[in-house]
Structure 1
Amino acid sequence: MTSITHPAARPAPAPSPRLTEETDPHCLPPARAAELLSGAPWRRFAAIGDSLSAGVGDPSPGYTSLGWADRLADVLRRVQPGLAYLNTGEVGATTDRVLATQLDRMAEFGPDLVHVPCGANDLFRREPDFAAAERSLRRLYEAAAGTGARLTMFTLGRAFVVPGFPDWEDRVRTLNAVVRRLARDHDAVLVDVWDHPVNARPDLLSADGIHFSASGQAVLAAEVVKGLAGVLGGRD
């Protein structure tokens, strides 16, 4: 009888500890975020657009369930306690719908800081018309900039995937290129999410596979704060 001796099994590696808002290297504690925006002049913050502007997303364990824009408003209130905040973000809104239904409210509000959408819902067509999307986005950005406000905007991240469109990555790349051009034209604060490390997180997206969960919203807010801090640092 032959005896077979198996080597001792190696213990499985301990699972990585789950990140929380306090341990997430891409988040900012509220006090630190307010410190970065110390002296910020913005007193009237508006976010217009779609669900990305609205901050739609599922809860994440260890993170406050707030959208990125609400988080940014809270930080700005630490700097400007009388901050006025308007968010007209609408789930599913295309750029043309934002032009038709949200610009008047934004103008009446009189913002000095405006977040504008990147046209994500313009991609949900059999054949997107990128030239038309760029024209509409340009009209939208020009109207927002016409208020005299500083503009902020996002590109779409690579984690945002719609399997029903085999060319989805190409669509996002093309739209992101449009947004980058318009950001340069308007000297906007652009948070370029496409290659951000957060895209690799398995729990980044909500159950719908589209919207960032609360952890992603926290990272977006931190990146906008950093972008605005960079603008403040460049002041004369």
Structure 2
Amino acid sequence: MASNLRAAQPFTRFVALGDSQTEGIGDPDGTGGHRGWADRLAERLAAADARVQYANLAVRGRLAAQIRSEQLAPAVALRPDLATVMAGMNDLVRPVFDMAATLTDIEAMVTGLRATGAEVVTFTYPDIGAITPIARPLSGRIRAMNAAMRVLAARHGVTLVDFEPVAATTHRLVWAEDRLHLSPLGHELVARAVADTLGIPGADASWRQPLPVANLGLDALIATEWRWAAHHFAPWVVRRVRGRSRGEQVYAKRPTLLPVHPQRESAAQRQGGEH
């Protein structure tokens, strides 16, 4: 599942770039903020080496071009020895998707971070058409984007966590009720996947194991789909039509490198509320 499976080495300066998934939406931290897979990965790194410092520049709603323009330069300035780039899904789900432009932005982030000497991790995407039926027309886009990401990762010698072949990544339990964001279980799965791919002490390949299948009856399935469409899909469409983003007036939750376990910020210190 990785293009660059490697022996473990100590990382002490971890910087995460991305959108809502990397920010941690869907994984509440108990104080009004968000935890997320990058926080969970940082905790695993710190368990192996107490010197670890961690910054998270991700902001919900950002397209790949915005992540590049807003987060790449600050990330490079932090001189990471480990950086993660999770970008492109917000582009992919738009009615008009320019895959070449999205890949150009991701490649610029990868090469910019590699130039600092950092180990760079990027990802393929799960098939969201398997998560929600209404998204099945996007499955072809996802497969094409994933194939291109494998080529990009190999060309630049970066670590690729390949989620597409792993059935657990499309399991309902891995996704929050809105089906746009990972659940706490999903964020934990991603953290475990990255840790395993990097060979972090204590990590293993159990994240690849299938999760129990939940068989819903037809009536329950229809009711579930209608409820999701009314409470989550329709509001998302309205925001897209209005050109609005939940990332407006939201800033990086952790813009500088800090020890992994400082006192968590209070909800009042976070910008933008729950979404």
TM-score range, shorter chain: 0.7 to 0.9
Other-structure match for 1:101:
70
CA contact (8 A) 2:126 2:170 kept: no
Amino acid at match of 1:72: L
Other-structure match for 1:137:
106
For these two proteins, the number of residue pairs brought into alignment is 189
Other-structure match for 1:74:
43
Distance, in Å, in 1 between the alignment partners of 2:35 and 2:108 is 30
Q: Which stretch of structure 1 is more off in the superposition, 211-220 or 128-137? A: 128-137
Other-structure match for 1:176:
146
Other-structure match for 2:126:
157
CA contact (8 A) 1:205 1:211 kept: yes
Cα displacement string for residues 142-169 of structure 1 (whole angstroms, at most 9, x for unaligned residues): 1111111001112111246566655211
Other-structure match for 2:192:
222
CA contact (8 A) 2:37 2:187 kept: yes
- Residue 155 of structure 2 is aligned with which of 153, 162, 185? 185
Tell me by how many angstroms 1:134 deviates: 1.7
Give the secondary structure class of the aligned counterpart of 1:206: coil
Instruction: Show structure 1 runs of 5+ residues with no match.
Output: 1-36, 60-64, 231-236
Other-structure match for 1:110:
79
Q: Calculate percent identity across the aligned residue pairs.
A: 32
Tell me by how many angstroms 1:200 deviates: 4.9
Q: Which runs of 4+ in 1 moved over 3 A?
A: 159-166
Q: TM-score, normalised by structure 2?
A: 0.63
Could you say what the CA RMSD is over the residues aligned between the two structures, in angstroms?
2.3
Distance, in Å, in 2 between the alignment partners of 1:125 and 1:211 is 16
Q: 1:74 to 1:102 in 2, by over 3 A?
A: same
Q: Does 1:89 align with 2:58?
A: yes
Give the secondary structure class of the aligned counterpart of 1:81: coil
Instruction: Show structure 2 runs of 5+ residues with no match.
Output: 1-5, 29-33, 201-275
Distance, in Å, in 2 between the alignment partners of 1:44 and 1:123 is 30
Q: 1:53 to 1:186 in 2, by over 3 A?
A: farther
Distance, in Å, in 1 between the alignment partners of 2:167 and 2:98 is 30
Give the secondary structure class of the aligned counterpart of 2:15: strand
Give the secondary structure class of the aligned counterpart of 1:222: helix
CA contact (8 A) 2:8 2:198 kept: no
Other-structure match for 2:175:
205
- Residue 195 of structure 1 is aligned with which of 165, 180, 189? 165
Amino acid at match of 2:126: G
Relative contact order: is structure 1 or structure 2 higher (C-alpha 8 Å, sep ≥ 6)? 2
Amino acid at match of 2:91: D
Give the secondary structure class of the aligned counterpart of 1:102: helix
Amino acid at match of 1:146: A
Structure holding more helix per residue = 2
**Greater Cα radius of gyration, structure 1 or 2:** 1
